[in-house]
Amino acid sequence: MFKAEGNVVHQVEVKTAEKNKDWVYALQGINANDSIVINPDGKLKDGDRVRIE
């Protein structure tokens, strides 16, 4: 998973709890207010600059 910090992304490892019917809960790696990249293309890499929308 990629997490945005300012306009730079960092690849982070996320530990999750078991999935229930509708949700997957992140236990480590990201927090509730973090900006994450949804559907990154295959070219995104750690340290790339991005534009947050």
Specify the pTM: 0.76
Residue 53 confidence (pLDDT):
79
Q: Which helix (H) or strand (E) holds 2?
A: strand 2-5
Burial degree of 9 (CB within 10 A; 0-12, 13-18, 19+): buried
**Number of structural domains in the chain:** 1
Residue 45 Cα distances to 19, 25, 37, 38, angstroms: 27, 24, 11, 14
Structure tokens belonging to residue 34: 């973090």
Range of the domain at 30: 1-53
For position 13, what pLDDT does the model report? Answer: 96
Report pLDDT digits (tens) over 1-53: 999 999 999 999 999 998 888 888 999 999 999 999 988 888 999 999 998 87
